[in-house]
């Protein structure tokens, strides 16, 4: 069976926490949009192409995913509640193993910290110890076996946006 | 106390294993030299500057370190037997904590696999499970506390050379 390539991408720079009555609606700042656009262009130049982008429904994540689509990294976007701050890796893994179309072998998840780096650690080591630093608009790249990815995945990339600008 | 920034850099592409009577003398191939030079230039463009480069004494590693010096990433080079294939993290940590000059706060180690990725995992998680993929001429970036770095360090970068060319 082929391995799956999974990118975990943190949303770009957003307004201050508490600046919106409903934190789910807090958008990217102008600087956040620009930097995320630059990162998306660089990812395209590095030949990153995705069968699917899944995003957290929160505005700052959805905007980040839209910028990845605009940069032509993918043509498919799916909003997933599992990627919201209250979502869980177990829920997403259930989707991954039960509902994912078999043609989807390269995909990106756009979401939040500390979730994404904790998910990565769990896929790599079967536990999370807070040892991965994922900046806003940063990227983690993992290779997952289709069966039993928890504790059996490999990390081939982790980058802050400053090395992509 | 300040954190230490540690880069682990795997030597570039070398000749076939077994092509030299003494494997320690196996050099970089022409392609290996060129790619390593390109990586070194990109690291310089990303503003990487090192107080010290330590290298394994083996030819393919020493040549890689020389290319990093030529690209002006550092002015100081030290050959360390701890970075040879038979070296150990414990030996290096002893140097780090007993002999390192306090002015050295940003340094790179040039060496071999599976040692470098195992060292990184041990610094991050206090054990090694083979979950990090470090390609030839690839780079790992870690932040270490000066005291008790094993299990207490953080990963901020891991990249294959193809994302640096």
What token pair was written down for A51? 């069968």
HSE-CB at A121 with a 13 A cutoff on CA atoms is: 19
CATH of the domain at A150: 3.40.50.1240
ipTM above 0.90 for this complex: yes
Range(s) of the domain holding residue A145: 4-163
Tokens 């990106």 correspond to: A108
A126-142 tens-digit pLDDT: 999 999 999 999 999 99
Residues in the annotated binding site of B for substrate? 60
Residue B1 is predicted with a pLDDT of: 61
pLDDT computed for residue A2 by the predictor: 74
In angstroms, the CA A139 to CA A127 distance is 20
Chain B contacts of A125, Cβ < 8 Å? 125, 129, 131
Considering its fold, how many domains does chain A have in total?
Answer: 1
| From A13-27, A50-64, B52-66, B109-123, the region with the lowest mean pLDDT | A13-27
Phi, psi at B160, each rounded to 5°: -75, 160
Judge: A154–B162 Cβ closer than 8 Å, yes or no: no
Mean pLDDT to the nearest integer, B104-111: 98
DSSP B61-105: HHHHHHHHHHTTS-S-EEE-GGGSTT--HHHHHHHHHHTS-TT--
- Separation of alpha carbons B82 and B79, rounded Å: 9
Residues of B in contact with A163 (CB under 8 A): 46, 157, 159
């Amino acid at each position: 069976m082929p391995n799956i390539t999974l990118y975990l991408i943190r949303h770009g720079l957003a307004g201050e926490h508490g600046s919106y009555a409903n934190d789910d609606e807090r958008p990217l700042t102008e600087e956040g949009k620009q930097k995320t656009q630059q990162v998306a262009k660089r990812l395209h130049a590095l030949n990153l192409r995705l069968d699917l982008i899944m995003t957290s429904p929160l505005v700052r994540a959805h905007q980040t995913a839209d910028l990845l689509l605009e940069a032509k990294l993918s043509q498919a976007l799916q909003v997933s509640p599992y990627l919201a701050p209250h979502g869980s890796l177990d829920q997403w893994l259930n989707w991954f193993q039960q509902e994912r179309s078999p043609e989807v072998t390269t995909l990106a998840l756009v979401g939040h910290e500390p979730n994404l780096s904790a998910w990565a650690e769990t896929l790599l080591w079967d536990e999370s110890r807070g040892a991965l630093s994922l900046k806003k608009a940063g990227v983690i790249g993992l290779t997952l076996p289709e069966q039993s990815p928890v504790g059996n995945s490999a990390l081939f990339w982790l980058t802050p946006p400053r090395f992509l600008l």
